[in-house]
Chains A and B, each alone.
Chain A
């Protein structure tokens, strides 16, 4: 390649020939044009010519008769010394390496469908982009890094894009409508589970004819093993959208349903989970073997309203809510005598995953604990990463592969309570669960998608210096003292647009404790408050009983076969179609039905 070098602004002058007569001599003057010149972007030479009228041997501006500009040719390479300031810079080097890796991935891209034997869909409930960013910084700072440069497990995945989260009837969505879109490929109304938008919320009769088919159901029909995990109640909106059809997300057990819905033949969500196999078989006239792994909270929706059925760590005098007298845990055990029902850490630890056909784990009467509150659970609960690992160990016993959905349900609850501490720690735990899935699967045959159902009104604000504690007060660049706002008081980096607002509960690790007390929106003097403590609840602007969801897009991250389709900004229903493309779920299910 042609090599060029930079020239300085040095002026080069040359005298043209001389003669013995008195006529003025003709002089020419070459001036280097610097790189970046508007006429010659790569530099060049300006040659001026004229007569030396005053005979001083110098071509002065008044003597110039003509000029010519010659621009250097376009510069296509730089030598090492010219690039040294760039190539030795770690930001430059790292990014250059990433580009190389991305190009290699593109070159090696397998674009054929049906390459994924296994599919895992991770959903961080309420894990908007600002939550991911703040959790990334927290995770880094927990490892004694500055934080900002850290990557959560799923942020290292090669492909990513955005989902538009709105529901068919709502600009800002809820989990029921959004998870239905991801699980079924069809956007629907707020508050309904697994049914299309023609349904009327709360109207049992309107369900018929609007039932959607989910990726989990297709995988089940196709002969794959299936699983659902959540740290929320397993009957809560997000996990329920994978297996249930309900006109109302709150119909978690029969006692939650209006009498006319029960009389109309609608099943509560807990019953649908236990009856999943027979319902699917009745609907499609096919033989399936049911969901192999179910783990989460929500025991109360599976037990009769009778203290005789209380579990060891019941938090109510009567744990069960069911008013139909049915013990669904017993019903499940009867249907699956080889299955293992567990309700605490000891039972979970005792599961021999390699030789276990089926697991039903209900670890809490209601939602499972926040990750930071988990140690306070009476009977003990597994972490989301532990549940994910165990689930994969059970599900991968099937040579046909598996479909698994994993939800971190309490990120959302901590945000609703206005408590960033627990929202971020649960997001870090969620990232740990994703890493567990990466570590326990083969990336060449397993598509892993990580996303959120919606975001929250959660902000990262001000101008904190690099490495400032993400849960702390804003301390500006070059300063060691908190920056003061116009009202003379310090403020936190993290905050909420609405909600209950400020609370200082010190070491309290249960985010929901923040609901106790008056709403305190607006500014509070935080000078003497440890805002990094578990019980600190960030300030909020608009007073509301509970902080709300937000309507902006959420991130989608993917690796494995078909992951390259996760790109751009798409409707949330797109995720189902990526999973279907990757694992050929519809084709395989139809083939099974045709037999």
Chain B
């Protein structure tokens, strides 16, 4: 994977050179858009964007036109909403409806693509200001996870998951690479407002609306499969603390 300077990214995309190069990072990491490239095994790389607006975060799968938005509530619960950009429609869930196998949603995993539980003890650090990087490594005899973390921006810069094959060779099975980020508040607010205007349906009401062509199509597409976005292991499990140490 190509390695690049975060400062260059800021300059090229967001015009944030001063902020990035300063000893202190003044960037507001609560409102941003970050673009990623994900490569799973030998599949084609796919791009997606991470959007943040304070206590809301969205994962936008560009090719699929699918957006998963997560709202962090005062109660500590996380409420998901799914948007289908092609149809300008949304499905709203109640907190807990997408736990899946009884697991609670980990807000940090949604907010920054990696759980806080995996960011507790860096093996080393480098840089300063917004460019400061922390490196984390987790693993066992079967798999290894390496994370390059930008703590001031709460962004993953690079994350790779490798597994040992039958011949004892380590193979990279999943990687995530930050392509750039933007700190344009107006742009972010505009995008969240656009999704918010989509016609939405409460998930509990799907059963009463199957004659709705959109809902019928959505169901037939099997959109509810978990692991559609974000960073997951090759068996589809979200990477969380405790699973890979």
Contacts and interface: CB of A to CB of B under 8 A. Distances in A.
Interface of A: 174-175, 191, 237, 249-250, 256, 305, 313-318, 366-367, 376, 378, 410, 412-413, 415-417, 505-508, 510, 512-513, 515-519, 535, 544-548
Contact of B207 (A313, A378, A547): A547
A378 B99 CA distance: 17
Contacts of A367: 202, 204
Contacts of A513: 96-100
Contact of B56 (A317, A412, A510, A517): A317
Nearest to B93: A512
Contacts of A545: 206, 210, 215-216, 218-220
A159 B79 CA distance: 46
A517 B102 contact: no
A410 B205 CA distance: 10
Given A250-B209, A318-B196, A516 B219 contact: no
Interface in B87-104: 92-102
B238 to A, nearest CB: 13
B207 A516 contact: no
B109 to A, nearest CB: 16
B208 A508 contact: no
A517 B203 CA distance: 14
B219 A507 contact: no
A378 B75 contact: yes
Interface of B: 55-56, 71, 73-75, 77, 79, 92-102, 196, 199, 202-204, 206-211, 215-216, 218-220, 222, 224-226
Secondary structure at the A interface, as helix, strand, loop or mixed, is loop
B224 A515 contact: yes
B73 A508 contact: no
A546 B211 CA distance: 11
Given A315-B94, A410-B204, 4 more contacts: A316-B79, A317-B73, A378-B77, A546-B207
Contact of A416 (B96, B99, B208): B208
Secondary structure at the B interface, as helix, strand, loop or mixed, is loop
Contacts of A519: 222
Contact of B204 (A250, A416, A544): A416
Nearest to B81: A316
A121 B220 CA distance: 38
B47 to A, nearest CB: 25
Contacts of B92: 316, 366
B206 A516 contact: no
A510 B99 CA distance: 10
Contact of A510 (B94, B196, B208): B94
A513 B202 CA distance: 13
A526 to B, nearest CB: 17
Contacts of B211: 191
A415 B207 CA distance: 9
A367 B204 CA distance: 8
Contacts of B96: 376, 508, 510, 513
Contact of B226 (A416, A507, A516, A535): A516
B97 A510 contact: yes
A316 B226 CA distance: 22
B207 A413 contact: yes
B220 A517 contact: no
Most chain B beta-carbon neighbours within 10 Å: one of A256, A505, A512:
A512
A517 B71 contact: no
B176 to A, nearest CB: 23
Contact of B97 (A313, A316, A317, A515): A515
